[in-house]
Structure 1
Amino acid sequence: MNSSTTITAQFSTPNRTRMIATAFLQLLWRDLWVTLRTWQTFLAMTLVQPIFFLFIFGRLLPMLGQANAGYGVLFLPGIISLTTVLTAMQAVSMPLVIEFGYTKEIEDRLLSPMPVWMVGIQKMVFASIRGLIAGAMIVPLGRLILGSGFSISFEYWWLLIIVAVLASLVGAGLGLTLGTFVQPSQIGLMFSVILTPMLFTGCIYFPWAMLDKLRWFQVVTCINPITYASEGFRASLVPNIPHARLVHHRRTIRFPVIVHLSGCQGISSQGARLQSLIHLAKGRRCLA
């Protein structure tokens, strides 16, 4: 057996697969460990906005008679969806913009024995985990703030799990897309232009089924992936409240969300690959 045969054997498919899996898990654990070490920052970024939303819209307005007594229960699933999607989106978009910017940390990740697209998948998995944790924390927070107005059911727990996982993945896919295409100098503009429409067209404050009198706006809300997350959480937590028909059946709930996820993932993967190759080429040019 010559040296070339030995090298080929060492980098055979099983060994390469094991090496890629190890690198994937190590990068994932590194990101999770950084989150654990900075848990105060994570809690502040995740909970400050939902606390004020739940207190003002779910507790204060019904107390003042400016909203129905049960509005807090209708509003809670919307906040869960908003927190899940936005936390996952911000967990990958902001760091990615910085890594493509002055820190050039993306080049260090590209040195790992993983394909470029696998680096993007790792970031999506990490971001979705953060989104799931953030969404789960809203439930006890809602119980604390809404008090006697808190009334949800876990009868459809399987639907809750499906919606939560898909919502976090959609948020991560959107974040990966934005992080690969937005320049660091435009990150503030990005959140102003994109976040505000998502905030008001995601059926967070109202059920989708009640928009039938304003048909054009009902159609507009279908473009926003948060709409499907909000309606899915309403169908699983408060099924007695009117919600979109598409969440009544297991087969139809997944299709619109997966369309958003597949589109964002395809665009973001190609964008991440292109941006990464450009930065890698620049790094090699500097070394040369």
Structure 2
Amino acid sequence: MILVAFLAILRRDLVVTGREFIPFLIQVLLQPLFFLFIFGKVLPSIGAAQQSYASLLLPGIVGLTVVTTALQGVTLPLVLDLGFGREIDDRLLAPLPVSLVALEKILFAALRGLIAGAIIFPLAYWVLGSNYSVRTDAIGVIIGIMVLTALAGATLGLTIGTLVKPEQIGLMFALIFTPLIFTGCTYYPWSQLDGIRWFQVITLFNPLTYACEGLRYAMVPPVHGYTLPTLGIGWVLLGLGVTFVAFLGLGIYTFRRAVVS
């Protein structure tokens, strides 16, 4: 009974997303499209960036898209569900423990993040053309890191969504998303921050750093026989794993506190 109810709620969310698939694509892909075009195509074309920069940028764009899509997939609906209308009560009436209602939201948001991240690859091939370059010998590692990244982003979104009030949602985006994006090694490799050591240390507190560096480890091919140094894959898995476990526990706790009176 519990499994049937869980799958029914998940299927309902997937059906709703399927009906709004085009708006979903526009929402999650518009920003990556312009990032890839400007930073991966325009700047190298005018000599403002190296031709190989697109290879460094693409893993960051994939990681950023997965994290932000998964995070927003929980945060925005949850803020509305916990608002004045208390739409969350419909889900709480299902024969499910409260923690499984939260887990369904995490799983659904993670699936959204994975779909958005996967679509970046053909989009990048279309935008970058000859500058598109991705290793094909570590596909399993790429998929594994993307899954862990999506789950970490979704648990972070659950925690934020249960702590932020609807009237504070705009402030939340300014205070959380801007530092998340620009300290997450999206546009630059972590190893090249040696000259700014204090900033290099700060980036280690951002889970997006581990996502982008893990994807660079698995995606960026050698350039002229030179392999790009990245964070070790062990540290990447540890960083994403700790983020997932920590915010899963905290998010379920804050979710229960927000919905159980």
TM-score range, shorter chain: over 0.9
8 Å contact from structure 2 (residues 184, 208) kept in 1: yes
1:182 pairs with one of 159, 164, 169: 164
Who is 2:28 aligned against?
46
Distance in 2 separating the partners of 1:257 and 1:81: 12
1:55 pairs with one of 28, 31, 37: 37
Deviating above 4 A after TM superposition, structure 1's stretches of 4 or more consecutive aligned residues are none
Who is 2:230 aligned against?
244
Distance in 2 separating the partners of 1:90 and 1:165: 16
Who is 2:240 aligned against?
257
8 Å contact from structure 1 (residues 210, 242) kept in 2: no
Which TM-score applies when normalising by structure 1?
A: 0.87
Matches within 5 A, 1:227-242: 227-240=209-222, 241-242=227-228
Identity over aligned residues, as a percent? 48
Q: What's the CA shift string for 1:172-203, capped at 9, x where partnerless?
A: 01110110010000001001100000110010
Q: What's the CA shift string for 1:73-119, capped at 9, x where partnerless?
A: 11010000000000000011000000000331111111111111111
Who is 1:27 aligned against?
9
Who is 2:258 aligned against?
275
Which TM-score applies when normalising by structure 2?
A: 0.96
- Provide the secondary structure at the position in 1 that maps to 2:121: helix
Deviation at 1:266, TM superposition (A): 1.0
Who is 1:117 aligned against?
99
8 Å contact from structure 1 (residues 50, 79) kept in 2: yes
Deviation at 1:239, TM superposition (A): 4.6
2:154 pairs with one of 157, 172, 177: 172
1:224 pairs with one of 190, 195, 206: 206
Counterpart residue type for residue 260 of structure 1 = T
Deviation at 1:243, TM superposition (A): 3.6
Distance in 1 separating the partners of 2:48 and 2:160: 37
Deviation at 1:221, TM superposition (A): 0.4
In structure 1, stretches of 5+ residues that fail to align are 1-18, 279-288
Q: Which moved more, 1:51-60 or 1:235-244?
A: 235-244
Greater C-alpha Rg: 1
